Chains A and B, each alone.
Chain A
Amino acid sequence: MADLLTVQGLETRFRTREGMVHAVNGVSFALREGETLGIVGESGCGKSVSVLSMLRLIPTPPGKVVAGSAIYQGKDLLKMTDEEIRQIRGSQISMVFQDPMTSFNPVLTIGRQVAEPLEIHQGYNRAMAYERAAEMLNMVGIPRAKERLGDYPHQFSGGMRQRVMIAMALICTPQILIADEPTTALDVTIQAQIVELVKRLRDELGMAIIWITHDLGIIAGLADRVNVMYGGYIIEEAPVKELYTNPQHPYTIGLLNSLPRMDETDHRRLASIDGLPPVLLEKPGYCPFAPRCHLAVERCWNENPSLLRVGDQHTTACWVDPGTGRERQ
């Protein structure tokens, strides 16, 4: 299928008191039509910043996208006028955020907020937009949707609020839905419901999804392909099955080992990855994972690997073959 969105060499930095934070360091990926792409990685590795950079939602200052392109329908999102990108946000590319509590305006009704994208992008009048909003809320499973349009965000539970957020993001039937850890703030049972909901909506509406999470478990049944990020880099990219069965980066292997597994009969302790995520104050001349990597060889300390092809659709940024523990040829 054709690429819907192509991101090339995206680089974003923040000027902070401690120095320049290199949050995203040359991220490249493509999103195909109707595909679901997972982005995983631990907290602070630059997942949010990369997608926010694409939509130009980085607070500037202190943040700045210093390089890269994000081509959507033949145009670079990063070079558009403010007005052009505004018309794409919320109508063609929508976002769902992590915290459904703080991501809604507390002083406006749900109806008002859900209907808003229709009013600005598609010229609906208030009454029509509300009617459509009620349909959309119904679709995401809000009971008595019509009556609840007049309620305020605090009158909904966390899970319900996230459903409303999804309704709001999808109300203009966008081509791309970006979900930035939409389940992290929710109970485990609610998480599963939200994932199921998004799957169903994807089948009904056919949008492509970028699903950000730090939980590889969640996207196993949801994503087609997965990007693993570490320290502002994509360090492995593979179709989801391939990634689970044949991980090629020690960090990915570490992430997978830290997942609880249903088929495991002995209750061994979950493995964790030793060490701390990197401080992004400088762009290292070595592999950013090397300090925590038990397979690191001399080359890892001298040269930061870029993505190497290791399979049909599988790339990884690692000098070492974790199967043999020796440098790749």
Chain B
Amino acid sequence: MGRYVARRLIYLFVVLFAVSAITFGLMHAVPGGPFDKEKALPAEIIRNLEKRYHLDEPLLNQYLRYVKEVFVPEFSTTKFSSNFEDDALFKFKIGGVYVKWMNFGPSYASRSRTVNDIFRQQLPISIQLGLMALLVAIIIGMPLGIIAALKQNTIFDYISMSVAIFGVSVPVIILGPVLIWIFAVTLKWLPATGWGSKPPYLLGFLPTSMGWNFFKYAIMPPVALGLASSAIIARLTRASLLQVVREDYVRTARAKGLQERLVITRHALKNSLIPVVTILGPMFAALVTGTFVTETVFGIPGMGKYFVISITNRDYPVIMGTILLYAVFLVIANLIVDILYAYLDPRIRYD
């Protein structure tokens, strides 16, 4: 298993190179640049800006410079400055040597900030939102699917599947305001907007305190974001469990005289979760990267806004950084799923 994980991590780097090259190429192929706004700047200033950000160099040079800044660690005997050129996601000191690694560059649009600042301050919030949404999706989706399957073609099945269809068909942009209107405006139980965690974060993304002050902000947005996914999980769980209860080994379990409860919990559920687990990886990645609307509706200072705006602004470093990061997410999420998969199904062995 260890070797398998190592191999997958090497593969991750290959993916990142491919993604970075393609994104870089596409980004520069699209007409327009970071500094042509509606209110045109004087040519002189644009030239200076482009020089400052090395945009006047050949594309290949720009790309190699980017790759070097991001992937190659830099060493120095003196402390790095706090200028954007010396910014990095990882800065530390080993035996008198200063090391910095992964400088994703400055944001062209918000000039006081670097991409790393966005990663440090906005990204954790989006991850928290995505994780909570995934949790909501699982907590709502799996029981609904299980009930629907066990009570197939009864009123419970119909109600569960109606809830699921409702879930997929109501977009966040409607569900969000409705939730706010009910729980914030009318009942006044929850705050309408905002988010309850601030840097520093545990492991770079977990909130340090998880009390009510965190959760009161983290109920409606994850529900709004995760409901559609919960519907997908519910339908998949239902289909999978319905398939599994027809399997021979479930009949064997009954023939052994197991209580119906044990037949389901011990012999059917674990098997039926295998296909459900496989979609959790891509689903998590989609939730973390798809937070834009939710963050906008609930006024959450997350990453979604930067990602979307960076594209219209041609904010090259932010585009590159976020897309690379999302690629990392996708690969890591799928890796975790594969590991879970091997845990659930002993027939699967890596190496």
Contacts and interface: CB of A to CB of B under 8 A. Distances in A.
Given A89-B257, A90-B257, A106-B347, A120 B252 contact: no
Contact of A90 (B249, B256, B267): B256
Interface in A80-120: 82, 86-91, 94-95, 97, 99, 102-108, 116-117, 120
Given A57-B251, A99-B248, A120-B262, A106 B256 contact: no
Contact of A106 (B249, B254, B257): B249
Contact of B257 (A91, A97, A152): A91
A91 B249 CA distance: 18
A168 interface: yes
A90 B251 CA distance: 12
A64 to B, nearest CB: 16
A59 B246 contact: yes
Given A105-B271, A108-B266, A97 B347 contact: no
Interface in A195-229: none
B252 A107 contact: no
B257 A105 contact: no
A146 interface: no
Nearest to B250: A105
Contacts of B346: 106-107, 152, 154
B255 A107 contact: no
A152 B271 CA distance: 14
A55 interface: yes
Given A57-B251, A102-B247, A117 B257 contact: yes
A121 interface: yes
Given A59-B246, A91-B257, A120-B257, A106 B345 contact: yes
B256 A104 contact: no
Contacts of A86: 257-259
B286 interface: no
Interface string A152-194: 1010000000000000100000000000000000000000000
B248 A107 contact: no
Report, as a range, how many residues of chain B touch the other chain: 20 to 34
Contacts of B247: 102
| Of listed B256, B344, B346, residue having the most chain A CB within 10 A | B256
B267 A105 contact: yes
| Of listed B252, B266, B271, B345, residue having the most chain A CB within 10 A | B252
Interface in B323-351: 344-347
A116 B249 contact: no
Nearest to A116: B256
A59 B251 CA distance: 9
A259 to B, nearest CB: 29
Contacts of A89: 254-257
Interface residues of A, number: 28
Nearest to B244: A105
A102 B248 contact: yes
Nearest to A95: B255
Contacts of B249: 102-106
B259 A94 contact: no
| Of listed B249, B258, B270, B344, residue having the most chain A CB within 10 A | B249
A107 B254 CA distance: 17
B274 to A, nearest CB: 8
A55 B255 contact: yes
A117 B271 contact: no
Contacts of B266: 108
B99 interface: no
Nearest to B344: A107
B131 interface: no
A99 B248 CA distance: 8
B147 interface: no
Interface string B244-288: 001111011111111110100011001100000000000000000
A218 B322 CA distance: 68
Please provide the 4 A-B residue pairs with the shortest distance between their CB atoms, ordered closest to farther. Answer: A90-B257, A90-B256, A89-B257, A102-B248
Given A86-B258, A97-B252, A103-B249, 13 more contacts: A57-B255, A88-B257, A97-B251, A102-B247, A103-B248, A106-B249, A106-B345, A107-B344, A107-B345, A120-B262, A152-B346, A154-B347, A168-B256
